[in-house]
Amino acid sequence: MAMGLGLIGTGFMGKAHALAYRQAGAVFGDLPEVRLALICDTPADKATEMARQFGFSGARDNWRELATAPEVDIVSITAPNGLHCEMALAAIAAGKHVHCEKPMALTLSDAQAMQTAAEQAGVRTMVGYNYIHNPAVQHARRLIEAGEIGRPVHFRGWVDEDYQADPELAWTWRAKRADAGLGALGDLGCHLVSMSHVLMGPIDSLVADTQIIHPTRPLASGSGRAAVENEDAASALVHYANGAQGTLCTSRSAWGRKNRLDWEVHGTKGMITFSQERMNELRLYRNQGAPGLQGFSTILTGPAHEPYGAFCPAPGHQLGFGDLKTIEVARFLRSIAANEPCFPNFTDALTFERVIHAIDLSAREGRRVHLNEELDT
pLDDT at site 193: 98
Same domain, 170 and 110: no
Same domain, 149 and 114: no
Same domain, 178 and 308: yes
Same domain, 65 and 136: no
pLDDT at site 267: 98
- Out of 93, 123, 153, a domain closes at 123
Q: Is residue 344 a part of any domain in this protein?
A: no
Q: Is residue 40 a part of any domain in this protein?
A: yes
Same domain, 29 and 156: no
Same domain, 173 and 302: yes
Q: How many domains does the chain have?
A: 2
- Out of 103, 123, 143, a domain closes at 123
Same domain, 219 and 271: yes
pLDDT at site 376: 65
pLDDT at site 1: 80
Same domain, 195 and 282: yes
Q: Is residue 335 a part of any domain in this protein?
A: no
Same domain, 7 and 149: no
pLDDT at site 70: 98
- Print the domain residue range for 216: 131-319+351-365
Q: Is residue 213 a part of any domain in this protein?
A: yes
Q: Rounded CA gap, 289 and 207, in Å?
A: 39
Same domain, 147 and 71: no
Q: Dump pLDDT digits (tens) for 154-178.
A: 999 999 999 999 999 999 988 999 8
Report the CATH number at residue 50. 3.40.50.720
Report the CATH number at residue 311. 3.30.360.10
Q: Which residues of the chain have pLDDT under 50?
A: none
Same domain, 135 and 119: no
Same domain, 115 and 139: no
pLDDT at site 61: 97
Q: Is residue 300 a part of any domain in this protein?
A: yes
- Out of 123, 156, 176, a domain closes at 123
Q: Is residue 324 a part of any domain in this protein?
A: no
